[in-house]
Structure 1
Amino acid sequence: MPTATIAEDDDGIRLDRWFQRHTKDISFNIVSRWSKSGVVRLDGAKAGPGDRIAAGQTLTWPEELPVPVATRPTEKPREPLSEAQIEYMRAMVLHMDAHAIVINKPPGLATQGGTKQPTSVDAMLDALQFDAPSRPRLVHRLDKDTSGVLLLARNAKAAAFFSKEFAGREARKSYWALTVGVPKIAAGTIDAPIGKQPGTGGEKMQVDTEAGLKAKTRYRVIERAAGRAAWVEFLPLTGRTHQIRVHAAAIGHSLVGDGKYGGKESYLTGGISRKLHLHSRRLVIATPGGGTLDVKAELPPHMAESWQMLGFDLQLGDIEIVEPPPPPLKKRRLSSATSGNRRGERRSRGATDEPKRPPRKK
């Protein structure tokens, strides 16, 4: 019977996924039939298609099908990276450990490539392999024009763990943005379903209360530049495409530089950059080793210049949001939480029209 030893790179994946990676003729149905008859085994024990495999285990299966090959048949060879590309990618690294690499993605660089995106983070991940047996893996995405914290998993087991954290909404993501005008409610939750806008080929989203997917975003105004613009922190509680951009536009304050959702009104005068002002500032997520990863990324140059021009104090940005306890039940009002607000906007308990500031040093 053919035999293979599970490599480190395949640690933690499903058995059927191993066959999908390394063979071209063994499908899930075949593995399932083998499992029922007991002829596919891990370390001599019966194994099913959904069983998780571990590095070092010995896998055996019937010999009537081809022996697994070293690489996936559909995988195309990648062009070797230039020294400039390697240096470019490594300059982005904010954090690296046995499980993860975190980079500060610049605006204008796509996370994944395509016919219109020949250059991307994914295309240059070989530069971040370092001493690992394989290149790191993407576990979430940022829009091309959004900058900031992007997490990469260094092996398959870590990728499965981090993907589960993101899918379960356990990770905390904080974004900094500059809005056109100042939200009337200084802190709250935008609760508005999001769906694809018809006729755009899925490239543009919209608030869709009939068929959209559930989408929630918390926000708070950190500082304001008179009534012209505001520095706003957004904390998405769900992960829909363009969620922050759609929700900001839904409350009447699109992001500066976001012509797709704000039109001409999203471009401010007075020397403010026309680039999108949206930055993934911070990520807090559990790690496979039982700890917590907490990483921040500095603003890209065009946003840093706008912050300086508008006189914003960066020290105000990382104040933790503390939810006040709810009022006693007998004192609660029964009026609508969204009365007088724009679509989907809801005031947080205890929110005021002025952002909280740290106490002055004596």
Structure 2
Amino acid sequence: MADSPVLYPRERVRHKDFYIDVNFRVIYEDEDILVLHKPAPLAVHPVGSYSELNIHSLLKKDPRWANMKIRFAHRLDAETSGVLLIAKHYEAARFLGKEFIAGRVKKKYHAVVFGCPEALSGVIDLPLGHDGSSGFQTVRIVDRENGETAKTHYRILHSNGEYSVVELQPRTGRTHQLRAHMSFIGYPIVGDKIYIDLKIFSRYVVHGLDEEMLAQLKMKRLALHASELSFTHPRTHEWVTFNSDMPEDIRLFIATIGEQCEAKR
């Protein structure tokens, strides 16, 4: 289903050393659910640099949703763009919550990663836990003893050897799962300030983005897009699928990638 026009005219908002893209779009809406295309960078909840500009705050400022209790069915990182599902009432939220917990919701992402994996496709089955030594609450590492089960299916779409475009389907929903998994197997996502090198993130939170960091990251934001979300509708119980087109910044980066990597099945 195609994206609808922008809700109302807005521009990218300057915030400190970067721009927050506030131009989210409605993909679909009915009496039970609201499906949005979330741009990046833009947080879902009020947090840190996004305390005033975030999906929750922007929805509450719009008269169409000002009186609605916003219940996010899942989350996307601020620097991840794509399909975001919101339940419009308690019953829908309860139903969707159970679907997510049971693993019946299907998610598909597209990303650009560094390098070219030898295998064309595979499953990354590595438990993830909190990295207590990092100094950052959200950082995840592979923890084979105490970590939570985490599984990701990946498929290489094309590559030039230096970069690869990959389709990712998480079978579980752990924090930073896709980012941590791709980094651990040696192919971090382009633009990832945490999992390319944590030293980058440590500098970034203090000084902001500089040219040296950008030379390592290759993109100002994470090259990760939530392209498809499929689930059972809470009222009709029909299987529905919603898509979000790849944003321009990632498309332009992908346009530079050929198909020279000889990936193996």
Q: Match for 2:25 among 92, 109, 128?
A: 92
Rounded to whole Å, the distance in 2 between the matches of 1:155 and 1:89 is 24
Rounded to whole Å, the distance in 2 between the matches of 1:128 and 1:284 is 27
Partner of residue 146, structure 2: 211
Partner of residue 124, structure 1: 58
Q: Any unmatched runs of 5+ in structure 1?
A: 1-82, 313-351, 356-362
- How big is each residue's C-alpha offset from its partner over 1:115-169, in whole Å with a ceiling of 9 and x where there is no partner? 5431211122225673896244211100111110000111111111111111111
Report the residue type matching 1:152 in the other structure.
I
- How big is each residue's C-alpha offset from its partner over 1:224-252, in whole Å with a ceiling of 9 and x where there is no partner? 12x11111011001111100000001111
Q: Where do 1:277-356 residues align within 5 Å?
A: 277-288=223-234, 289-311=236-258, 353-354=263-264
Instruction: Mark the CA change 1:101 to 1:90 in structure 2 (over 3 Å): closer, same or farther.
Output: farther
Instruction: Mark the CA change 1:190 to 1:131 in structure 2 (over 3 Å): closer, same or farther.
Output: closer
Partner of residue 188, structure 1: 122
Rounded to whole Å, the distance in 2 between the matches of 1:236 and 1:223 is 20
Residue 134 (1) aligns with residue 68 (2): yes
Partner of residue 78, structure 2: 144
- How big is each residue's C-alpha offset from its partner over 1:244-291, in whole Å with a ceiling of 9 and x where there is no partner? 000001111111111311127x9678x953421000010000011111
Instruction: Mark the CA change 1:132 to 1:170 in structure 2 (over 3 Å): closer, same or farther.
Output: farther
Partner of residue 275, structure 1: 221
Preserved CA contact (<8 Å) 1:125 1:135: no
Preserved CA contact (<8 Å) 1:275 1:302: no
Rounded to whole Å, the distance in 1 between the matches of 2:252 and 2:163 is 14
Max radius of gyration: which structure?
1
Instruction: Mark the CA change 1:157 to 1:258 in structure 2 (over 3 Å): closer, same or farther.
Output: same
Partner of residue 210, structure 2: none
Rounded to whole Å, the distance in 2 between the matches of 1:298 and 1:277 is 14
Q: 3-state DSSP class of the match of 1:262?
A: coil
Q: Any unmatched runs of 5+ in structure 2?
A: 1-7, 11-20, 201-212
Deviation at 1:101, TM superposition (A): 1.1
Report the residue type matching 1:183 in the other structure.
P
Task: Count residues in correspondence.
Answer: 231
Rounded to whole Å, the distance in 1 between the matches of 2:48 and 2:264 is 46
Rounded to whole Å, the distance in 2 between the matches of 1:292 and 1:195 is 33
Rounded to whole Å, the distance in 2 between the matches of 1:243 and 1:268 is 25
Deviation at 1:202, TM superposition (A): 1.5
Partner of residue 190, structure 2: 256
Q: TM-score, normalised by structure 2?
A: 0.78
Report the residue type matching 1:246 in the other structure.
A
Partner of residue 12, structure 1: none
Deviation at 1:353, TM superposition (A): 3.6
Preserved CA contact (<8 Å) 1:90 1:127: no
Report the residue type matching 1:204 in the other structure.
V
Rounded to whole Å, the distance in 2 between the matches of 1:145 and 1:100 is 23
Report the residue type matching 1:150 in the other structure.
L
Partner of residue 163, structure 2: 229
Report the residue type matching 1:302 in the other structure.
D
Q: 3-state DSSP class of the match of 2:154?
A: strand
Rounded to whole Å, the distance in 2 between the matches of 1:157 and 1:147 is 27
Residue 109 (1) aligns with residue 42 (2): yes
Higher relative contact order (CA 8 A, sep 6+): 2
Rounded to whole Å, the distance in 2 between the matches of 1:268 and 1:248 is 20
Preserved CA contact (<8 Å) 2:125 2:152: yes
Rounded to whole Å, the distance in 2 between the matches of 1:244 and 1:147 is 14
Partner of residue 247, structure 1: 181
RMSD between superposed Cα atoms in Å = 2.9
Deviation at 1:307, TM superposition (A): 1.7
Rounded to whole Å, the distance in 2 between the matches of 1:114 and 1:291 is 35
Preserved CA contact (<8 Å) 2:43 2:78: yes
Deviation at 1:84, TM superposition (A): 5.8
Q: TM-score, normalised by structure 1?
A: 0.58
Comparing both structures, which one devotes a greater share of its residues to strand? 2
Report the residue type matching 2:139 in the other structure.
K
